[in-house]
Amino acid sequence: MSKLRLVLRELHRGEAGLARDLLAVADRHRADHEIFHVARDVAGWSQEHVRRIAEVGADFGVRLNPEPRWTLPGVGVLGRRAGAALARRPASGLLLLADLRHVHRKAAGVSLDWELLAQAAQAMKKQSLMQLAADCHPQTLRQMRWANAQLKVTSPQVIAS
Partner 1 sequence: MQQPDRIAHPWGERTPYGRDGRWPARVDQHLADGVAPEDVQRWAKSASLLHSNGDAMDIAVVDGRIVGVRGRADDRVNGGRLGPKDLFGWQANASPDRLTRPLVRMGGRLVETDWDTAMGRVVAESKRLLERRGPSAIGFYTTGQLFLEEYYTLAAIARGAIGTNHLDGNTRLCTATAAAALKETFACDGQPGSFTDVDHADVIALFGHNAAETQPVLWMRILDRLAGPNPPALVCVDPRDTPVADAARESGGVHLAPLPGTNVALMNGLLHEIVENGWVDREYVEAHTVGFAELEKRVQEYPPDRVAEICRIEPEQIRSAARVLGRAERLLSTVLQGFYQSHQATAAAVQVNNLNLIRGMLGRPGCGILQMNGQPTAQNTRECGADGDLTGFRNWENDAHVAELARHWNVEPTRIPHMAPPTHAMQMFRYAEQGSIRMLWVSGTNPAVSLPELVRIRRILSQRRLFLVVQDIFLSETAQLADVVLPAATWGEKTGTFTNADRTVHFSEKAVDPPGHGRPDLDIFLDYARRMDFRDKDGRPFPQWHDGESAFDAWAACSAGRPCDYSGLSHAKLREAPSGIQWPCTAENPDGTERLYTDGRFWSAPDHCESYGRDLVTGAPLEETEYRALNPDAKAILKAAEYLPPHERPSDEYPFVLITGRTIHHFHTRTKTGRVPELQAAAPDVWVECSKDDARRLGLADGDAAEVATPRGTITARVRIGDIRGGVLFVPFHYGYWDTTGSGPGGGRGRAANELTVTDWDPASKQPLFKTAAARLGGAS
**Contact footprint for partner 1 (CB under 8 A):** 31-34, 37-38, 40-42, 44, 87-90, 92-93, 142-143, 145-146, 148-150, 152-153, 156-158, 160-161
CB of 86 to partner 1, least distance (A): 9
Nearer to partner 1, 44 or 109 (CB): 44
Pairwise CA distance, residues 161 & 155, whole Å: 10
Phi, psi of 82 (to 5 degrees): -60, -45
- Output the smallest distance, CB 8 to partner 1, in A: 25
Whether 17 contacts 50, CB under 8 Å: no
Please say which residue, 71 or 148, places its beta carbon nearer to partner 1: 148
Longest CA pairwise span in the chain (Å): 54
Give the residue with the Cβ less far from partner 1, 63 or 88: 88
In sequence order, what DSSP letters do the residues of 135-154 get, joined into one string? HHHHHHHHHHHHHHHHHHHH
Residue among 111 and 120 whose Cβ is closer to partner 1: 111
Cα(157)–Cα(20) distance, rounded to whole angstroms? 28
- The least CB distance from residue 136 to partner 1, in Å, is 14
Closest CB to partner 1 among residues 67, 135: 135
Task: Name the minimum Å distance from CB 103 to partner 1.
Answer: 12
Contacts of 65 by beta carbon, 8 Å cutoff, 6+ apart: 50, 54
As to burial, measured by CB atoms within 10 angstroms (0-12 exposed, 13-18 middle, 19+ buried), residue 153 is exposed
Q: Closest approach of Cβ 7 to partner 1, in Å?
A: 27
